[in-house]
Amino acid sequence: MPGTETGGTPAADEAELDAVDHFLHRDPGRQQAATLSGRVRRRTLIAVTLIMAASGLDSTVISVALPTIRNDLGGGVGALQWISSVYLLALAITLVPAGRLSDAIGPRTVFRAGVIIYLVSCLIAAVAPDSWVLILGRAGQGIGAGAVGPAAVVLIDRAYGPDRIGRAFAALAMLLAISSALGPVVGGTLTDTVGWRWIFVIHGVIALAALALSPSVVAPEGSGDPTGLSSRSILALALIIIGIQVALIQGGAHDWLWLVPPLIVAALAGLYLRHRERTSARPMLDMQLLRRTPVLATVICRVATMFAFYGNIFYLTLFLQSSAGYSAAQTGLILLPSSVIGIAAAPITGRLVDRYGPNPVLVAGTLATGASLFVLAFVHETSSVAWHIGPGLTLNGIGYSLASVSTRTAPLKAVPEAQHGSVTALVSVLSKMAGGFGITFATGLFNVLLNPAIGRAMSLFNVADRDPIRDFIVEHIGTHDLPRVIDPQAVAQAGFHSVEEALGVIDKSFALTYSLLVGILGALVMLSALGIWILLRHSHDEPTASQTEPEE
């Protein structure tokens, strides 16, 4: 939403205020906000801020806790990728249907239902006895957050009205950006002090407070018309997302031929959804908007940057807490400056967009994001934060700020106002899907790159290349606090001469694999930047939204 961009990290977008732009459901009842008391407005803003701040934290807070969760619950890296990605994928599936349901039965009802789902899911995650129950809880959190988002924007819109809405959204957006930026620090501190389960306990307490305030929230009644809310379309979208996710997991964990069946399911669901959307008077996701070059460029930018960000951050947090030897709290602090720089750079980025237009800033943001990954590709197991990791994360924060603000502006300038909600929802859903898929793709690619990296590491340490040694490395790579938990007897049985030798080979294997991984992710983002530049270079003659706006 113009005027409220705060930059920050991709995580800030998971509570994305303008993701659905449902405040554009402008109705005469908005004027009634002038008669509401300040107390009602404040309670509404607090209720919405609490639950959306929790969902903003949710997308980042878990990242630094993953190594400890692996030690406690087991399940390996495969389970960790589901724990990270399922939240984003569930959010993507829920976002638009929840907005339509909010129109039909009223935003307060949907808001309270979403908060309840989120609260119950937090409790499930907090007491999870194994990884799969935790994954179930994370999926429920994504569904709850997806339901809350669209309804929350309408509630704020109704409470504050057209004269005060800008200030309310600006305050909310800033709080969401700050909460997302603090996510890794909060998660790391809790993990190191009272345990990772308290992350979900605190989120549950926040949700309970939001639920307690919700009866005082003033909201319009639903229309009772579920137009555009098709259970078949929702199911088709879910099958597309699940099919692609399973294909990426199967391809990475087994032979790549295993990806064919789930991809067939995803393709058939995609064809069905395309048919439903083309014949619907109000499609769930208006893919026709991608015919406009600025919209397509925005989608490419957001998909590429979110895909790479989550793929990188998943393994960076594992690397920092295993091979580099940092604690969860220290890892959170290492990640914090990137978010702070992104938030601080947002006003400057906004002025650049106003002066030069969104297109050059969009390309620059994509290039900077790709360049940041190339910088991180030179990180190794003994890298210092100040000279190696910090510069890469700093450049990433600047790149994301440039991309974030420009991609909010570019599509809105390209379509009439009546389509602002549709285009923002489309970009948001696709970017969240990309974030979830980025984690899974990175895991599959990591597994492919790991074997040659292990071979290189063993040659550097003059270790014999034997299957028991390789199996031992694969089993222990990415393990948190490995020097403390490693079994000396298992080290000897695998064929290593000492624990120190085993730790050295494992750390070097991880460092080499991570370096190759982020280098490839950086190359993909750079190729996306080239594609965006080519698209925009040949789109000068395309009519703007103002030129296509119907005359009164």
Tell me how far apart the alpha carbons of residues 382 and 375 are, in angstroms, rounded to a whole number: 15
The alpha carbon torsion through 261, 280, 2, 54 (nearest 10 deg) reads: -50
Task: Give the tens place of pLDDT for each residue, 505-539.
Answer: 999 999 999 999 999 999 999 999 999 999 988 77
Structure tokens at 366: 């994509």
- CA-based Rg of the chain, rounded to a whole angstrom? 23
Provide the percentage of residues in the chain whose pLDDT is more than 70: 84
> Tokens 């005060």 belong to which residue?
164
Q: What is the pLDDT of residue 34?
A: 47
The letter for the amino acid at 246 is V
For residue 305, which of 406, 211, 403, 230 has the smallest C-alpha distance?
Answer: 403
544 pLDDT more than 70: no
The reply to whether domains 1-219 and 285-544 share a CATH topology is yes
Q: What is the pLDDT of residue 256?
A: 64
226 pLDDT more than 70: no
Say if CB 54 and CB 185 are below 8 A apart.
no
What sign for the dihedral angle of Cα 332, 337, 343, 346?
negative
Q: What is the pLDDT of residue 36?
A: 52
Task: Give the tens place of pLDDT for each residue, 141-187.
Answer: 999 998 888 888 778 777 776 666 667 766 777 777 777 778 888 88
pLDDT (average), residues 184-204: 92
Domain 285-544 is classified in which CATH homologous superfamily? MFS general substrate transporter like domains (1.20.1250.20)
For residue 393, which of 450, 333, 441, 439 has the smallest C-alpha distance?
Answer: 333
Task: Give the tens place of pLDDT for each residue, 437-457.
Answer: 999 899 889 988 998 999 999
DSSP letter for each residue of 267-336: HHHHHHHHHHHHH-SS-SS-GGGGGSHHHHHHHHHHHHHHHHHHHHHHHHHHHHHTTS---HHHHHHHHH
Q: Out of 164-168, 317-321, 323-327, 359-363, which region has the weakest mean confidence (pLDDT)?
A: 164-168
3-state secondary structure 34-91: HHCCHHHHHHHHHHHHHHHHHHHHHHHHCHHHHHHHHHHHCCHHHHHHHHHHHHHHHH
Residue boundaries of the structural domains of the chain: 1-219, 285-544
> Domain 1-219 belongs to what topology?
Growth Hormone; Chain: A; (1.20.1250)
pTM of the model: 0.84
